[in-house]
Amino acid sequence: MPSEFAAIIEVGARDGLQNEKQFVPTEAKIRFIQLLKEAGFKEMELTSFVSAKWVPQMQDAKEIVKAFSDDKRNIVLTPNEKGMMAARELNCEAMAVFVGVSNTFNQKNINKTTTESVEQLRPLILKQKQDDLFIRACISTSFYCPYEGKIDEKDTIALCEQFVEAGVDELSVADTIGMANPREVYSLFTKLKDAFPHILLTAHFHDTRGMALANIYAALEAEVYRFDSSAGGLGGCPFAKGATGNVATEDVIFMLHQMGVETGINLDKVVEAVTFIEPYISRKIESKYFNLKAFTKI
């Protein structure tokens, strides 16, 4: 393995919580994020500036951002100018925009076609880059769409190219509904690495069918060393039918550390954060490492 370090971008407070029907109190979200920061994450998605009607769980975005205003690397998700302006007012310096390769998914998620989304976002990204903000583009349904089925990798690469041309710093390429297999992952990420050698390339896997760890290994083989994951395996997009949680941070870190790939993250501290948030979560925590911890100590 050429690199012995992988960066983990913790998305539990955003992707992890956005699909929870029961509102998680703002104070609990803040404590959860604090514990995750203590675990050592340098890059985290904290929340999203989206419509409270569409995603009520994220209605406290401003309070969350204010609670961590000293850390300029915090990432907030935003689909449009309104969200970007709100984030800028709170001095956020890192933003994630999100667009689906699949038109049908994009319409269900942000009420626009993919083309309309790109056209709307391009000048906004340019403006943020002029002010030297960090912009990450999350590319949803990069492999499969719950409504359109298999996505042609050429379409994913073409959409990524539009964001690279718009000036983003990072592409987070997502298997939104956990359908991709390791060969598809290796193929797409190898091509993306070749096409965009100077862009930060991140893999974002949901674990709906238990293939996420295998897909992370396939991405590593394609020399991708950045992974989004969610503490406790929480998460899922409310507008992607059948989507379940992100790959669990604990499971990713355990696998990487066992393979000798460092992450700089304290696994026990991640477990502490999941233990804290578990009572606020309406479904069972799926993370294998979390569920085993009571029985096994290595």
The span from the CA of 68 to the CA of 273, in Å, is 17
On whether the CB atoms of residues 74 and 49 are closer than 8 A, the answer is no
Under rule CB under 6 A, residue 136 binds ligand HMG:
no
Binds 226: which of Mg ion, ligand HMG, none (CB < 5-8 Å by kind): none
Under rule CB under 5 A, residue 60 binds Mg ion:
no
What residues from 53 to 72 belong to the interface with ligand HMG (CB under 6 A)?
53-55
User: What residues are paired with 77 via a beta bridge?
Assistant: 48, 96
Q: Which is nearer to Mg ion, 15 or 207 (CB)?
A: 15
The span from the CA of 111 to the CA of 106, in Å, is 7
- 92, 145, 160, 237: the catalytic one is 237
Residue from 9, 46, 94, 110 binding ligand HMG (CB under 6 A): 110
Residue 202 φ/ψ, nearest 5 degrees? -125, 145
Applying CB under 5 A, the site for Mg ion has a residue count of 1
Place of tokens 């930060």: 200
Give the count of beta carbons closer than 10 Å to the beta carbon of residue 241.
12
Under rule CB under 6 A, residue 202 binds ligand HMG:
no
Under rule CB under 6 A, residue 163 binds ligand HMG:
no
Q: Given the rule CB under 5 A, which of 14-22, 51-59, 144-152, 216-224 is the region that contacts Mg ion?
A: 14-22
Q: Given the rule CB under 6 A, which of 27-35, 43-51, 159-167, 217-225 is the region that contacts ligand HMG?
A: 43-51
Tell me which H or E stretch contains 96.
strand 94-100
Amino acid letter at 176?
T
On whether the CB atoms of residues 202 and 231 are closer than 8 A, the answer is no
Under rule CB under 6 A, residue 43 binds ligand HMG:
no
Place of tokens 């997009």: 237
Q: Which is nearer to ligand HMG, 178 or 267 (CB)?
A: 178
Under rule CB under 6 A, residue 188 binds ligand HMG:
no
On whether the CB atoms of residues 131 and 90 are closer than 8 A, the answer is no
Under rule CB under 6 A, residue 125 binds ligand HMG:
no
Under rule CB under 6 A, residue 78 binds ligand HMG:
yes
Q: Which is nearer to ligand HMG, 1 or 85 (CB)?
A: 85
Residue from 24, 137, 174, 248 binding ligand HMG (CB under 6 A): 174
CB of residue 22 to ligand HMG, shortest distance in Å: 17
The span from the CA of 73 to the CA of 23, in Å, is 26
Q: Which is nearer to Mg ion, 15 or 20 (CB)?
A: 15
Residue 194 φ/ψ, nearest 5 degrees? -65, -40
The span from the CA of 292 to the CA of 298, in Å, is 11
Under rule CB under 6 A, residue 94 binds ligand HMG:
no
Under rule CB under 5 A, residue 15 binds Mg ion:
yes
Q: What is residue 175's three-state secondary structure?
A: strand
Among candidates 31, 62, 15, which has minimal Cα distance to 277? 31
Beta-carbon contacts of residue 259 (< 8 Å; ≥ 6 apart): 1
Residue 237 annotated among the catalytic residues of the structure: yes
Residue from 26, 51, 104, 162 binding ligand HMG (CB under 6 A): 51
Beta-carbon contacts of residue 182 (< 8 Å; ≥ 6 apart): 211, 214, 215, 217, 218
Applying CB under 6 A, the site for ligand HMG has a residue count of 26
Where do contacts with ligand HMG occur on this chain (CB under 6 A)?
15, 18, 48-51, 53-55, 78-80, 82-83, 98, 109-111, 138, 140, 174, 176, 204, 206, 237, 239
Where do contacts with Mg ion occur on this chain (CB under 5 A)?
15
Catalytic site residues?
237
